[in-house]
Structure 1
Amino acid sequence: MEDDSDTLLTKLGTGKWTIIYCLVLSIWFFILPMHTMAGAFMAPFVEHTCRQPPDAYMATTTTYTLDSNYTTNSNGSLPLPNFDASCNYLVEESDGRLVEEPCTDWDFDNSTFTSTVTSEFQLVCGRKYLRATYQSMYMIGMLVGAGSTAFFADRFGRWLMIAISTVIYTVIAFVTAWLPNFPSILAARFLLGTMHPASLMAGFILVLEVTEMKMRSLTGLMLFTSWGIGTIMFSGMAYLVRAWRWLQLVASLPGLLFIFLLCILGESPRWLAVVGQHQRALKEYKRAAAWNKVTLPPDHEILEIMLRVQQQAVSTRKPYSSNKSLKSIVRNILHDFTVLIRTSKVRLVTLVMCVDYLVGAMLFFGLTLGASALGVDPFLYMAISGIMELPSTTILIPITNYFGRKKVLFINYGISAVVLLTQPFISNDLKWLSVTLVMIGKFASANAFNLVFLYSLELFPTEIRSQGMNVAMAASRVGGIIAPYLINAVDSTYPWISSVLFGAGAAVAGLALLPLWETINTRLPDTVADLEGFTDPLQSPAVEEEEKLQASSGEDPENKKSNLPTPC
């Protein structure tokens, strides 16, 4: 096999260098669930009673008819529709009629939480949709962030993207604890969401780009183990800290530790090689060799490998023109945004991963939302949810190393599809069986959602990896947003309809994987040409397209070819 970036990583092995990258980024994966799922403890449903004004009608003489849901006063005057006493109160007019008025002030039950966003801003009754908005605004921010920051990590580097996004995230998280009004809190939630995909995807990519081939599944899945641990710890924090502003501060403190430790890490050397920063890449490789106590090939051999990698990248990426006209700028921007659909294999990977990310998130968050209807203790439920994440990653590590990514992913989607599609055939008398099958589907969907991250990273080439995975992440946010609507839109008489919809989605996601290939024990593709299998990088479709554009503008294509880097 021709020498490439994976050859150098294999020679470096797995030592202190790789372990430090994994441990530091695990801290960030530990932090993220505390804010992603903050609504469970900061904006929960809180029992409340209407604080009635002095002129409110006292219900001591109110009677309820047996044959209808109507309320009448003791004199049997005109009936009123049965009302929610927690959201409305009655006023008796001079003629004896009862008039329903909306409540404007409430008393909240503080037995579970001493203060919440719900109680502080009175997000109940006619304003209860704002409580859901608090929880969904983060997801909407993630959707926007995944799309708008998709190509920044590929253009400017993984480490820089992580540093910028995590510093902004931590600052906003701290400031949120002091924000005085609800609109500003919603804005902060949105901004946190926009930074989430930038930090998570860039961090995940950075760790796996410094990991040798045989250890990628271990390091990748271990990162998501820290997500489960963070979920468990968040439930413990919320149990001890019952005031939402103090909980917001406590959940933000680990961000300071991460920013401090981030200074230890360096940029991805394989990304540096792709973009032509060979001396920086060489410096990172030498530092890794020193930390791992191994000997690398001579400098000129490493540089030759990096030049070959860069040459392939240049052949499939249209360089920016010196022409600063509006037409040229627009063409460059369109080129960046269409790189994921320009060639056949990249287009296939992009479409399949968007489907699998969307369905994976829909299943993961949808089944979690459906399980919350069980009415269990919120702290216990969050802890159990985190515990369920731990075996899903630890079990996947040996299984995926033996059977491969594609097959295991296909099986997990298949299990989810089967158990969810059987719901209409289960008798109402076997509720325990129905719940058990739904939990099995949730466990399998958690496996799939974790594994699809690793699989997509190994499918997308280095030069567009961040862009491709962030577009797929945007698709997953769509799945997370629509999941609750699928649950709430169906008739409550047939609760299994949502399970059937989720099961059908899992079946589609599994079948979509069939055209893809296995990535176990294969080197990561560094360039689009590498993935597409071009034997001559100068004959790639991107170069042919560029030559046509140059010909139409009077430039000499041969001169452009001569500007490509060549090995020493």
Structure 2
Amino acid sequence: MKFESILEEIGGFGPFQFAIIVLLCAPRIVLPCHYLLNNFIGALPPHRCDVSALVDGGLFGNLTLEQRLTVSIPVREDGALKSCEMFAVPQFQLLDNGSSAADLPTVKCQSGWVYDNSTFTSTLATEWDLVCDRKSLTQTTGTIFFIGVMIGAVTFGFLSDKFGRRNTLLASYVMAMGFGFASAFANSYALFAVLRFLTGFGVTGIGVNSLVLGIEWVDPSHRSFIGVIGSLSWSVGNMLLAGLAFLVTDWSTLIMIVTAPLGLAILTWRWIPESARWLLAHGRVKEAQFYLDKCATFNKRQKVSIKLETLTTNIETQDKSYTYLHLIKTPKMRKITLLTGVVWFGVALTYYGISLNISGFGLNIYLTHFIYSAIEVPAKLVIYSFLNIFGRKKCQAGTLLLTGVCIAVNIFLPKGLWHARAGVAILGKGLSEAAFTTLFLYTTELYATVVRQNGLGYTSFMSRLGVSVAPLILLLEDVWSVLPQIIICSAAVVAGLAALLLPETLNVKLPETIEDIERPRGNKVSSSSEEPPALFLEIQSTADVEQ
């Protein structure tokens, strides 16, 4: 008897499972609030050189503020004041009509900057003057956070298998909350960067463990539902972030608010059950019996009637003799490994490259972020219906290539057509989300059971690599305004073309061994006998990449 048979006996989808979903809801919603928080706390408001020191020196006499700025700061071609330059000495002749500021000597701002606080009360840029020569540090903060996420994924994946999902989840709650709140009180940029790294490290453990717990407590026919719920909770948190950022315009307060739900998560952690599947796999039969009996009672079913000791040798666990090297030892396995790495990198880079670029479409950043988040919901629902119609490969390649097309179209659309640009950008965001949703399922079907966890660990690393470089790519707009879009578009197209080289897995039995991968994969099963929801069991290694 397999563990699924026990779930069928005690109720594989009932009040007990719904309670788990509810208990894990708050921490799952927190994830996107931290992943995309830099859109708001790292915003760069309009600014100019501070000329108040000249006023204190009595150089301006009775000049109005507008006149003081005219003689102190040069203007750009569009008529706005330059952000990072001022005249070496006040140019009073500019007060005369017809005088030109061309070729007048300028210097960098000498006494700091004055910021436009109409949109943001304070951001990282205004807190530590991360502007002009230092403005790249705001985007660097996002990269530092995602590096923490990358390292945390590897660490918590190991800890989860060794010490259990429940205990590791509590450690993630405490770390994410502690370092999250601490970063709100950082008194230097260096300290803030370190604390954001540690926050990313802790937050990723929530993603690794929360979805795993939900999936391992439901029967195979409802695992896809749990996957969808977990994915939709990301979208809810993403939309919530737009509203919170609109209401709270101070960076430190916003960090505390999006971190606060973890306090509720810590309080309710005591009611979260450990994975009985994990307990049995590690021979902890009495503890597994306790949680299984609780599940049966909650679901108003009979308690387990078999001896659980008989299951400890039958639980499906990963063969310890398989390592990452087995992903490249054989030809077809090596091809799948290379191509899935390219696709994961491209999907992550594209999704976050679009998500982190929420300006330039004629809408305020709050509305853009909300629309970007809202479009994910229909994108998820539509792609789930298309997967069984068109197949995994066509959906994966199609969504990526169409995302690249949307980005390319916006490169050539004039900025004056902001309605069209915003519409194309929103469509591209929905397609990039559909590509991410498809990839979770597709990857689990491509790898054999004996190396599936290793394969997902590798692709998880590749995705985080893409996520980490996305903020840095956006900085290249200073070199050429459309260069980031060209790079992101190229990544989407290359990933889409790579997906076309992967085998189709629709209605194909899951490979159990590497030998199954190397032989022709023509063993299809009927839709009635197929068990696609079981594939979502493997999402546990990658659940925190996007959602």
Q: Give 1:505 shift.
A: 2.8
> In the aligned structure 1, how far is the partner of 2:424 from the partner of 2:8?
42
Residue 46 of structure 1 corresponds to: 45
Residue 126 of structure 2 corresponds to: 119
| Residues 393-433 of structure 1: per-residue CA shift (max 9 Å, x gap) | 34445555x559xx246414313304524876897579666
> In the aligned structure 1, how far is the partner of 2:435 from the partner of 2:394?
8
Contact residue 238 and residue 379 of structure 1 kept, 8 A: yes
Matches within 5 A, 1:210-249: 210-249=217-256
Task: Please state whether the residue corresponding to 1:263 is helix, strand or coil.
Answer: helix
Q: Alignment partner for residue 508 of structure 1, among 483, 497, 501?
A: 497
2:87 matches 1:90: yes
Task: Please state whether the residue corresponding to 1:151 is helix, strand or coil.
Answer: helix
Q: Which amino acid aligns with 2:503?
A: P
Q: Alignment partner for residue 386 of structure 1, among 373, 382, 386?
A: 373
> In the aligned structure 1, how far is the partner of 2:192 from the partner of 2:453?
29
Q: Give 1:188 shift.
A: 0.8
Q: Alignment partner for residue 469 of structure 2, among 477, 482, 506?
A: 482
2:17 matches 1:10: no
> In the aligned structure 2, how far is the partner of 1:5 from the partner of 1:253?
37
| Residues 10-40 of structure 1: per-residue CA shift (max 9 Å, x gap) | 3322101211222222221111122222222
| Residues 336-374 of structure 1: per-residue CA shift (max 9 Å, x gap) | 765766899987776555443322211211223455332
| Residues 501-533 of structure 1: per-residue CA shift (max 9 Å, x gap) | 034234135225x3363589x89x9xx779979
Residue 522 of structure 2 corresponds to: none
Matches within 5 A, 1:177-188: 177-188=184-195
Residue 545 of structure 1 corresponds to: none
2:266 matches 1:256: no
Task: Please state whether the residue corresponding to 1:373 is helix, strand or coil.
Answer: coil
Q: Which moved more, 1:250-259 or 1:138-147?
A: 138-147
Q: Give 1:196 shift.
A: 2.7
2:176 matches 1:142: no
2:440 matches 1:453: yes
Listed as ranges, the gaps of 5+ residues in structure 1 are 71-81, 319-334, 534-568
Q: Which moved more, 1:149-158 or 1:491-500?
A: 491-500
In angstroms, what is the RMSD of aligned CA positions?
A: 3.9
Residue 313 of structure 2 corresponds to: 307
Q: Which amino acid aligns with 1:504?
A: V
2:162 matches 1:173: no
Q: What percent identity do the matched residue pairs reach?
A: 25
Residue 21 of structure 1 corresponds to: 20
> In the aligned structure 1, how far is the partner of 2:515 from the partner of 2:294?
29
Q: Alignment partner for residue 210 of structure 2, among 203, 208, 213?
A: 203
Contact residue 115 and residue 126 of structure 2 kept, 8 A: yes
Distance 1:89 1:168, change over 3 A: same
Q: Give 1:62 shift.
A: 8.9
Distance 1:437 1:398, change over 3 A: same
Q: Alignment partner for residue 267 of structure 1, among 274, 285, 289?
A: 274
Task: Please state whether the residue corresponding to 1:309 is helix, strand or coil.
Answer: coil
Q: Which amino acid aligns with 1:379?
A: Y
Distance 1:476 1:60, change over 3 A: closer
Q: Which amino acid aligns with 2:399?
A: I
Q: Give 1:64 shift.
A: 9.2
Q: Which amino acid aligns with 1:517?
A: T
> In the aligned structure 2, how far is the partner of 1:34 from the partner of 1:63?
38
Aligned residue pairs total 488
Q: Which amino acid aligns with 1:142?
A: V
> In the aligned structure 2, how far is the partner of 1:273 from the partner of 1:245?
44
2:373 matches 1:374: no
2:401 matches 1:413: no
Task: Output the TM-score relative to the length of structure 1.
Answer: 0.74
Residue 561 of structure 1 corresponds to: none
Listed as ranges, the gaps of 5+ residues in structure 2 are 61-67, 94-102, 518-547
Distance 1:7 1:164, change over 3 A: same
> In the aligned structure 2, how far is the partner of 1:344 from the partner of 1:155?
32
Task: Please state whether the residue corresponding to 2:237 is helix, strand or coil.
Answer: helix
> In the aligned structure 1, how far is the partner of 2:275 from the partner of 2:514?
19
Distance 1:424 1:137, change over 3 A: closer
Q: Which amino acid aligns with 2:364?
A: D
Q: Which amino acid aligns with 2:434?
A: N
Q: Which amino acid aligns with 1:507?
A: G
Contact residue 74 and residue 85 of structure 2 kept, 8 A: no
Q: Give 1:437 shift.
A: 4.5
> In the aligned structure 1, how far is the partner of 2:266 from the partner of 2:85?
49
> In the aligned structure 2, how far is the partner of 1:246 from the partner of 1:63?
33
Matches within 5 A, 1:481-560: 481-484=468-471, 488=476, 491-492=480-481, 497-498=486-487, 500-512=489-501, 514-515=502-503, 517-518=505-506
Q: Which amino acid aligns with 2:231?
A: F
Task: Output the TM-score relative to the length of structure 2.
Answer: 0.77
